[in-house]
Amino acid sequence: MLTLKEIQKQLESRIFHIVGETADDMGYECYVVGGYVRDLFLERHSKDKDFVTVGSGIELAKAVAKRIGKGAHCSYFQNFGTAQVKYRADELEFVGARKESYRRDSRNPIVENGTLDDDLSRRDFTINAMAISLNAANYGELVDRFGGLDDLAAGVIRTPLDPDITFSDDPLRMFRAIRFATQLNFEIAPNTFEAIRRNAERIKILTRERIATELSKIMCSPMPSIGWKLLRDAGLLKIFLPELEAMAGVEVVNGRGHKDNFYHTMEVLDKVAAADTNCNEWLRWGALLHDIAKPQTKRYDEKAGWTFHNHNFVGAKMLPRIFRNLKLPLDERLKYVQKLVELHMRPIALVEEVTDSAIRRLIFEAGDDIDDLMILCRADITSKNPEKVRRHLENFEMVLEKMRIINEKDNLRNWQPPIDGNEIMAIFGIGQCRAVGEIKNYEKDQLLESETPNDRELALKLVLEKGASLGLTPTLRP
Ligand code: ATP
Ligand code: MG
């Protein structure tokens, strides 16, 4: 963590002087505040710079834009009293110091002008409630009313005021607490965490979009499991994603138990996150939801023990409803997650019986997503028994290697059978109809079973064969 001295050096950047001098000219107190200050100490990249002034944020923003001159663009929201100046890569947010009071019966606060202290005390956490002065008289002076610096050093998330009030005023802060704990690998202070548990029901008044934004940040953290475990322990998970909550726990029949699928999922998710350093959020959702249908499909019988037949297919079918509830996108991203969930057991099944045709079929079905699927599958190998893990991984590597060889040879990634639908229609002199699809599927299936999926002669033979079985005769010899 940087010291205050080092921070003051960072504040030598021209933009802070421009803002400070402009505020001085207007006779306003002005501070850089919130996430930007926190991230400075943590040496974390911060996208936007937030400024608070004891005066009009909008007037200050306009004056700053004017002072910067060419290239600066100011926009503002009169109703909210906030303004933004864009200049090169910088996004500068301005707001006047405010005091907010909430009433139990309304979600919208009453906002009035306030002092810097009023403004800092309405912020969510002590680590987000620090400000650094930009006025010439005390440039670089830290204002830390709630021990934010100590909490930063100790790695603690704590509300500045009574946490029950903070969370009940704006329940989104409960998600934010867990999100920051996950991103920064911080602890949530015990009394702050207890207040989240007490106020959990209040999240019902939030829009799902706001929740989704926080979940997305949890997902893209280095160890997303921290967040999901906290969400569960705090009692939030069962409210907004009961399907995941249902995975927790172990049932024992006649002395035989199955894995705790929630904790297994957490392990898989973290392993995927470790392999996926650029954060493909949807691959991570695939990891989170790959076993989501295990509770529904769980059966016990004396011979087979615990089974979860077809949980991959049932799981893929559950996803549209889950995505709709969470306000996640219902487009090709949903389809991609469905594909991962549906196929997640195939590569492991190959370990037991690895034939070339089974590998070809998998490469064809996974298409461009095969690498992501393999990341998920490798992560899915978890067990308390290290010997078992080692053996599985070894087999898995063998499948990967075979896959590489076959793909090099047949280039199956974007494979299409050599004779397409148009050609089939021409060969038999028919228009679009069911037979065309049947013939094409037969051609595709048989080619993937064969050693030579790109062989045109073989493809033609198959097409004619299937056509004949459907009573069609070729009118054209291609
Ligand atoms: P990040 O930008 O990484 O999401 P941040 O802390 O900068 O983190 P912003 O949403 O940009 O978060 O908000 C900037 C600052 O505004 C916060 O640091 C905090 O002081 C305050 N803030 C934001 N949202 C809330 C909220 N719901 N309740 C109270 N204060 C908030
Ligand atoms: Mg921010």
Model confidence band, residue 213 (pLDDT cutoffs 50, 70, 90): very high
**Residue 131 or residue 80, greater confidence:** 131
Q: What's the CA-to-centroid distance between 153 and ligand 2, angstroms?
A: 20
Closest atom of ligand 1 relative to the 172 alpha carbon: 27
Please give the distance, rounded to the nearest whole angstrom, from the Cα atom of residue 96 to the centre of ligand 1. 15
Q: Whose CA is nearest to atom 15 of ligand 1?
A: 34
pLDDT at 267: 97
Q: Is the CB of 34 under 6 A from ligand 1?
A: yes
Residues 429 and 475: beta-carbon distance below 8 Å? yes
CA 39 / ligand 2 centre spacing (Å): 9
- Report the nearest atom of ligand 1 relative to the CA of 34: 18
How many Cα atoms within 13 Å fall on the side-chain side of residue 315?
A: 29
Q: Where are the domains of the chain?
A: 4-154, 155-240, 421-469
Does ligand 1 have an atom closer than 6 angstroms to the CB of 50? yes
Is the distance from CB of 150 to CB of 185 less than 8 angstroms? Answer: no
Distance set, CA 346 to CA 130, 177, 238, 278, 316 (Å): 51, 38, 30, 25, 14
Residue identifier of the C-alpha nearest atom 30 of ligand 1: 123
Which one has a higher pLDDT value, 209 or 2? 209
Ligand 1 lined by 35 (C-beta under 6 Å)? yes
The residues pairing with 95 across neighbouring beta strands, listed in sequence order, are 52, 82
Which ligand has the minimum distance to the alpha carbon of residue 171?
1
Q: How far, in Å, CA of 59 to CA of 81, rounded?
A: 10
C-alpha to C-alpha distance for 248 and 260, rounded to whole angstroms: 6
Q: What's the CATH code, domain 4-154?
A: 3.30.460.10
Q: Is the CB of 159 under 6 A from ligand 1?
A: no
Which atom of ligand 1 is the closest one to the Cα of 124?
Answer: 29
Q: How far is ligand 1, taken at its centre, from the CA of residue 173, in Å?
A: 9
Kindly give, in sequence order, each residue whose CB lies less than 8 Å from that of residue 120, ignoring residues fewer than 6 positions away.
Answer: 33, 129, 130, 131, 143, 145, 146, 160
User: What are 274-312's pLDDT values in tens digits?
Assistant: 999 999 999 999 999 999 999 999 999 888 888 999 999
Ligand 1 contact via 109 beta carbon (within 6 Å): no
pLDDT at 425: 94
pLDDT at 85 exceeding the cut of 60 = yes
Tokens matching residue 72: 């600066």
312 beta partners: none
The phi and psi torsions of 23 (rounded to 5 degrees) equal -65, -40
Question: What is the 34 CA–ligand 2 centroid distance (Å)?
Answer: 8
Verify whether ligand 1 is closer than 6 Å to residue 52 (CB atom): no
**Residue with CA at minimum distance from ligand 1 atom 5:** 35
Q: Is the pLDDT of residue 107 over 60?
A: yes
Q: Are strands 252-253 and 187-188 parallel, antiparallel or unpaired?
A: unpaired
In this structure, of 113-127, 154-168, 263-277, 341-355, the range with the lowest mean pLDDT score is 341-355
Residue 84 has pLDDT above 70, yes or no: yes
Which architecture characterizes domain 155-240 according to CATH? Orthogonal Bundle (1.10)
Ligand 1, atom 4: closest residue by C-alpha? 35
Nearest ligand, CA 174: 1
Residues with CB under 5 A from ligand 2 (ion): 35, 48
pLDDT at 47: 81
> Which of 116, 125, 128 is the pocket-test mutation for ligand 1 (most atoms within 8 Å of CB)?
128
Residue 353 above 80 pLDDT? no
In this prediction, residue 143 carries a pLDDT of: 97
Average pLDDT of span 37-49: 91
The answer to whether 251 touches 298, Cβ cutoff 8 Å, is yes
What integer is the mean pLDDT of 191-213?
96
Return the pLDDT at 342: 97
**How far is Cα 131 from Cα 33, in angstroms, rounded to an integer?**
4
Distance 37 CA to ligand 2 centre (A): 10
Rounded to the nearest whole angstrom, what is the distance from the C-alpha of residue 36 to the centroid of ligand 2? 6
Confidence of residue 477 (pLDDT cuts 50, 70, 90): low
Mean pLDDT (the chain, rounded): 93
Checking if the pLDDT of 111 tops 90, the result is no
Ligand 1 close to Cβ of residue 214 (< 6 A): no
**Average pLDDT estimate for 431-452:** 91
In which band, very low, low, confident or very high, does the pLDDT at 106 lie, cut at 50, 70 and 90? low
At residue 46, what is the residue type?
S
Residue-wise burial string across 283-306, b where 16 or more C-beta atoms lie within 10 A, e elsewhere: bbbbbbbbbbbbbebeeeeeeeeb
Determine the Cα–Cα distance for residues 200 and 174; give it in Å rounded to an integer: 8
Tell me, what's the pLDDT at 39? 95
Residue 46 Cα to ligand 2 middle (Å): 7
Encode pLDDT of 367-415 as tens digits.
889 999 999 999 999 988 899 899 889 988 988 898 888 888 777 777 8
Mean pLDDT value of segment 412-434: 89
Say if residue 66's pLDDT is above 60.
Answer: yes
Work out the average pLDDT over 39-53: 92
Choose which residue among 41, 123, 157, 172 to substitute to test ligand 1 binding: the one with the highest number of ligand atoms within 8 A of its C-beta.
123
Radius of gyration of the chain (CA): 29
452-476 average pLDDT score: 91
